[in-house]
Structure 1
């Protein structure tokens, strides 16, 4: 399972003058509501959110923005 590195995304956003999740979502061309759910752990990143964040933070690698974690038991 993949999840966002929330603290790193927010810290890097602030470095670029993106002081809110909504501002980061706009920079990544993502729906602010969906991005908010992603950042709160209520949704998993899909291709569009992965691609959007990688495009918004082009100097960063996938591993800077996301981490792989074991899937909860019973889910794959």
Structure 2
């Protein structure tokens, strides 16, 4: 519980939820263009490193990935 005092009145405010904290943090980062671009670049590098090409996958993983692609394609065509 957060207490805010204004003159003689004390207000009780509920604590921020995680979503509110995250929203506030993202808005703060977007205010500074350099930090925002750095954050985006770091995220791109992370995602690029996390993605593994098909030849590097094991046979079972290849089959699973291809099955996911075919299902996604069927859903998209509808």
Relative contact order: is structure 1 or structure 2 higher (C-alpha 8 Å, sep ≥ 6)? 1
Larger Rg: 2
TM-score, length basis structure 1 = 0.23
Say which structure is richer in helix: 2
Say which structure is richer in strand: 2
